[in-house]
Amino acid sequence: MICSRIEYRDFRNIESAKLELSPEVTILYGKNAQGKTNMLEGVYLFAQGKSHRAGRDNELIRFGANAASLSMEYESGGRKNTLRLDISEGKHKTPYKNSVRLDRLSEMIGNFRAVLFSPEHLSIVKSGPSERRVFLDVAISQLRPVYMRTLQRYNTILMQRNALLKGAKAGRGSASLEAWSTSLAEYAAKIAVIRAEYTEKLSNIVSELYADMTGGREEARLQYHGTSRIGGDYGSEQRVREIYRRQLTENTEREIFLGSTQYGIHKDDVDITLNGKDAKFFASQGQQRSIVLTMKLAEGEYSKRETGEYPVFLLDDILSELDPARRSYIVSGIRDRQVIITSCDTSVKRRLRDGVCYCVKSGVPTLISKEQV
C-alpha cells in the first residue's frame, strides 16, 4: 500500500498544501505547532474515517473556514485509486472513491490501510480498558469492513437498552428489556469472537517481535478478556452469545439500579502480560512503551499477512522518546514499507537515503532537496 500524494484544503492550520510522498521514507520536520501531526492526521483519516485525536469533526476545519477537504492518491494491488473526504461544518463527512460518492463512511474504511504510532498510544498498556478496545477496533475495522457496521449496530442497541434501564429506574416499566438483552448478546458475541481471534493471532506476532527485541529475555503476550469471563476460549459464537445473554438477563435488577448495561463488549478488555505478569503493574515505563510499539508493528505485520500488502506506517514523533537500541530495532522493523515520519529533530534528516523530506512551517510544507539535507 503506497500513498503517493495527499492534498489538504482548509484542514487544521493548513490552508492549502500538497505532499508528494516517497514510496519509502517521507520526513516531515519542523518546530512545534507547525502542522506536522495535522498532516499525518489527514492521511490517517482515510484509513480510519475519523481522527485519532479530534472529538468533533468541526475541529478539523481551519479556523474561520466552513469546510475542509482532503484528497489522496494511493496504490494498492498495483492499481492507482483516489479518495476524497469533504468535511463541512455540522454535517457528516462525505467520502468519494475514484470520484464516485460513497453512501457511507464505513464503505471507505478498508480501502486505504495505515498504522499510526502516536505518542498518545504509549499509554495503551497503562490506561483503562477503553484504549485497548479502541486499539482492537481500529486494527480490525481496517481488515474487515463488516466489523465496523456490527460495532455501530451494537452501540445503537446498547444506547436503547441503557435508555430503557433508566426508564425502568424511573418507574416506566421494563417489558421489552429481555428482547433488547437477546439482541445485544447476539451482537456482543459476534464482536467478541472476532476480537478474541484477532488478539490471539496478534499475540503470537507480538511475542515473536518482543522476544526478538529483547534478545529472548522477555516475553509479552496478549489475551482477550471478556466480561463473559470465558478465558481464551471464544471458539463458538453460539456459546459466547449464551453467556452474554445470561449475564444480561440475570442481573437486570442491579442494572436498573445503576441505570446502565454492565455486561457486554463495551466492558471487555485485553490482558497484556510481560513474563506472565500483568504489564500494567509490573512492566517498567520503557517496557510498556516497547510493548505498545511491538503491538503496532504486529498490527502492520498481521495486516500484511491478511491482505498481502503492508499498510502505510505513520510515525508521529515517537522515535525521539526511545533509547538508541530500541529506536534502531523499530527503524529496522519498518523497512520495506512506506513510512511517514514527523520530527522536531533535524538530525532525522540524516536517516534519509532514498526518501523525501519536507520542512513544515505554519502549515506550509517546503520540499527540501537532497543537497540541502
Q: Does 37 bind ligand ATP (CB under 6 A)?
A: yes
36 binds ligand ATP (CB under 6 A): yes
CA angle (27, 32, 34) in 5-degree steps: 70
Residue nearest to Mg ion (CB): 37
Task: Give me the residue label for grid cell 502480560.
Answer: 273
SS3 35: coil
Ramachandran bin of 9, using left for φ above 0, alpha for ψ from -120 to 50, beta for the remaining angles: beta
CB-neighbour burial class of residue 262 (10 A; exposed 0-12, middle 13-18, buried 19+): middle
The answer to whether 59 contacts ligand ATP (rule: CB under 6 A) is yes
Selected from 26, 34, 37, 214, the binder of Mg ion by CB under 5 A is 37
Q: Which CB sits closer to Mg ion, 185 or 318?
A: 318
Task: Please list every residue from 16 through 35 that binds ligand ATP, using CB under 6 A.
Answer: 30, 32-35
Which residue's CB is nearer to ligand ATP, number 58 or number 182?
58
User: Binds 159, which of ligand ATP, Mg ion, none (CB < 5 to 8 A, cut-off by type)?
Assistant: none
Determine if 34 is a binding residue for Mg ion (CB under 5 A): no
| In the complex, minimum distance from the CB of residue 13 to ligand ATP, in angstroms, rounded to a whole number | 3
Q: Give buried/exposed letters for 222-246 (b at 16+ CB in 10 A, else e).
A: bebbbbbebeeebeeeeebbebbbe
Q: Going residue by residue from 169 to 198, which x/- string records binding to ligand ATP, judged by CB under 6 A?
A: ------------------------------
Which residue of 3, 8, 9, 12 would you call a contact of ligand ATP, by CB under 6 A?
Answer: 12
- Does residue 118 interact with ligand ATP by CB under 6 A? no
Considering the rule CB under 6 A, would residue 38 count as an interface residue with ligand ATP?
yes
Report in angstroms how near the CB of residue 24 gets to ligand ATP at its nearest.
22
* Closest among 2, 137, 11 to 74, alpha carbons compared: 2
35 burial (CB, 10 Å; 0-12 / 13-18 / 19+) is buried
Give Cα separations from 283 to 34, 223, 327, 371 (angstroms).
34, 16, 19, 44
Rg (CA), the chain: 22
Residues of this chain that interact with ligand ATP (CB under 6 A) are 12-13, 30, 32-38, 59, 61-63, 317, 342, 344
